[in-house]
Chain A
């Protein structure tokens, strides 16, 4: 906390609740508490009983395919859409019925939505001006923001005179300038090309770390979610399918949807399984019987699948590994890595992502055996 920028941002927030000045003790405080939120457009439900908490200083990502309700949830939090039922609490205060202006959240829009008739400095200072921050103080804060976002010297430019990345940074600065309790970001990097996106990811991560801002981030890009998030809420058809740290969701997916969508795993049919102690199970799958971690509590024979991530598969056998035999149906080279599709008579299509060196000698139509080392396959319930 010795960084002068951080000190400036903290000083700016001193006027608000004491949450930031009291040293965090134990579990971080819940900033945003979403309680059983539902939203339907006529007969179509967009959100169903969504409950979620966002903690002080964390970056929580809402990840889901399009139409899963993540943007609707963000709009309800921001106040652009009214919930059909449920509540949104911001530091314990019910904000569900307040107008967007009175909620004290900052928002970064997908296509930036910068004001074209205002300069960079006016855009960044807009929220401060609305809050009746005096001119001198406003200029100081805007200057701070522009420095933080590496936009010095551009304060007099208009948005159309900026590159995509610069516009994105102005949009960030505009949302951060008045130090809102929560910042909502709606696919903020969606309009940028790949190289710029990776650069901006780093910048957002840096800002989040330096300012300790609480951020709710919406994306459909699993890679982006992994790169940025403290926690990820995976959404599916208007519900939160699973919430957790990226690592946890990746290695111990709660169900087959999370495994397939987030970890890009193969979902293999299970012949039979038996639950053991400490979250493990004995599973018969294909020709092998293995002991593996599980996130299911179901003892029934159906309703479970074995999730095996593409990168878990390799050609070398190891003790306790899951064995998959099949014919090479497709090979795609991605430079250092190669994607191999295997057609297995018992398990169907299995996709593996392997080191190119490991793939030497493989050819289409060849019969091969692949192995998932012990602990890499996870038994999950079918979503």
Chain B
């Protein structure tokens, strides 16, 4: 290398692997880092950003323009689907976070490896199964003359026909969403020092008080985030409401599907999709505002 080249390397760490003085460094200059994530950015843009922007534009320009949205809100089916979707998702989020949280907390504090392994298996198993398989399993459990009814009969109770009701949909959705909640909350709980609970108990707190006064406040940002995540995913459920709810619990996704494949009305379908997307984004934004950066930082400090 000539004298000119040496002077360049001496001035700035142009090479990604060598500092000016020849030492090896793992830190990349910004432009190199950008190049490395470029493929990911391209995929994100091509498969997420572009379709969503196109969808939003189509919903406003094709058909009756803004009237597409009016049509969704004016149709009784549309209103009902939207309300059902939001309410069911809220209920499912609350249940999934509660159950997932209990599961995650027990994995966190359990000291027996075998028990922990079983609990992890319980969390992971639903992840490994396909959506249809998972829902069909619940169909079998809840069907008339199925195991649930047999059990009730054995206990001398009247059979309940849960299949094709909103309850069945809620059960199926919670079953699917618990692993998401458990996973995200396990990470949150892992960040809470167990000795803080000992400290609380040593200072005079009962087990319950230690959890409500120390563990829950510290986990709250994570719980809110986890709930928002579960809620946003729940909004888009399609298979579960169709398989378990039948005609009883029309979800927004079924409504959209009807407009695409039955009525071939793409403008209305796209407007309904954008509404659903807006609700999801709004929830996530609200959660972020609620948790707040400061509180999040304090919780992890």
Do A and B share a complex? yes
Q: Give the shortest distance, in Å, between B107 (CB) and chain A (any CB).
A: 21
Asked whether, in the complex, the Cβ of B200 is within 8 Å of the Cβ of A126, the reply is: yes
Which A74-124 residues sit within 8 Å CB-CB of chain B? 78-80, 99-101, 104-107, 109, 111, 113-117
Instruction: Out of B195, B201, B217, name the residue touching A100 (CB < 8 Å).
Output: B201
A174 on the B face (CB < 8 A): yes
Which A197-251 residues sit within 8 Å CB-CB of chain B? none
With A109-B198, A111-B195 given, is the CB distance from A116 to B204 under 8 Å?
Answer: no
Asked whether, in the complex, the Cβ of A175 is within 8 Å of the Cβ of B203, the reply is: yes
Collect the chain B residues with CB atoms within 8 Å of residue A80's CB.
Answer: 198, 201-202
With A116-B218, A116-B298, A117-B298 given, is the CB distance from A130 to B195 under 8 Å?
Answer: no
Task: Give Cα A106 to B203, complex, Å.
Answer: 6
Contact string against A for B residues 200-214, beta-carbon threshold 8 Å, 1 for contact and 0 otherwise: 111111110100011
Asked whether, in the complex, the Cβ of A131 is within 8 Å of the Cβ of B204, the reply is: yes
Q: Give the shortest distance, in Å, between A342 (CB) and chain B (any CB).
A: 46
Q: Smallest CB-CB separation from A105: which chain B residue? A: B202
With A113-B193, A117-B218 given, is the CB distance from A107 to B199 under 8 Å?
Answer: yes
A57 on the B face (CB < 8 A): no
Q: Give the shortest distance, in Å, between A141 (CB) and chain B (any CB).
A: 14
Asked whether, in the complex, the Cβ of A174 is within 8 Å of the Cβ of B203, the reply is: yes
Collect the chain B residues with CB atoms within 8 Å of residue A130's CB.
Answer: 203-205, 209
A64 on the B face (CB < 8 A): no
With A80-B198, A113-B195, A113-B198 given, is the CB distance from A99 to B206 under 8 Å?
Answer: yes
A373 on the B face (CB < 8 A): no
Collect the chain B residues with CB atoms within 8 Å of residue A381's CB.
Answer: none
With A109-B195, A109-B199, A130-B209 given, is the CB distance from A117 to B299 under 8 Å?
Answer: yes
Asked whether, in the complex, the Cβ of B204 is within 8 Å of the Cβ of A178, the reply is: yes
Asked whether, in the complex, the Cβ of A113 is within 8 Å of the Cβ of B205, the reply is: no
Which B278-301 residues sit within 8 Å CB-CB of chain A? 298-299, 301
Interface size on B, residues (CB 8 A): 21
Instruction: Out of B199, B217, B299, B301, name the residue touching A113 (CB < 8 Å).
Output: B199
B196 on the A face (CB < 8 A): yes
Collect the chain B residues with CB atoms within 8 Å of residue A113's CB.
Answer: 193, 195-196, 198-199
Collect the chain B residues with CB atoms within 8 Å of residue A16's CB.
Answer: none
Asked whether, in the complex, the Cβ of A107 is within 8 Å of the Cβ of B218, the reply is: no
A127 on the B face (CB < 8 A): yes
A135 on the B face (CB < 8 A): no
Q: Smallest CB-CB separation from B300: which chain A residue? A: A116
Collect the chain B residues with CB atoms within 8 Å of residue A107's CB.
Answer: 199, 202-203
With A107-B203, A131-B204, A160-B301 given, is the CB distance from A117 to B198 under 8 Å?
Answer: no
Task: Give Cα A113 to B193, complex, Å.
Answer: 8
Contact string against B for A residues 325-358, beta-carbon threshold 8 Å, 1 for contact and 0 otherwise: 0000000000000000000000000000000000
Q: Give the shortest distance, in Å, between B209 (CB) and chain A (any CB).
A: 7
Q: Give the shortest distance, in Å, between B191 (CB) and chain A (any CB).
A: 10
Task: Give Cα A294 to B206, complex, Å.
Answer: 51
Task: Give Cα A80 to B199, complex, Å.
Answer: 10
Asked whether, in the complex, the Cβ of A116 is within 8 Å of the Cβ of B209, the reply is: no
Q: Give the shortest distance, in Å, between A80 (CB) and chain B (any CB).
A: 6
Q: Which 6 A-B pairs have the closest CB atoms?
A: A113-B199, A107-B202, A130-B204, A160-B301, A127-B203, A100-B201
Pairs across A and B, CB under 8 Å, 13 listed: A79-B201, A101-B204, A113-B198, A113-B199, A114-B199, A115-B196, A116-B299, A117-B217, A117-B299, A126-B200, A126-B203, A126-B213, A130-B203
Query: Which chain A residues have a beta carbon within 8 Å of chain B's beta carbons?
Result: 78-80, 99-101, 104-107, 109, 111, 113-117, 126-127, 130-131, 158, 160, 174-175, 178, 184
20 A-B pairs besides A107-B203, A117-B218 with CB distance below 8 A are A79-B201, A99-B206, A101-B201, A101-B202, A101-B203, A101-B209, A104-B204, A106-B203, A109-B199, A113-B199, A116-B218, A116-B301, A117-B214, A117-B217, A127-B203, A130-B204, A130-B205, A158-B298, A178-B203, A184-B202
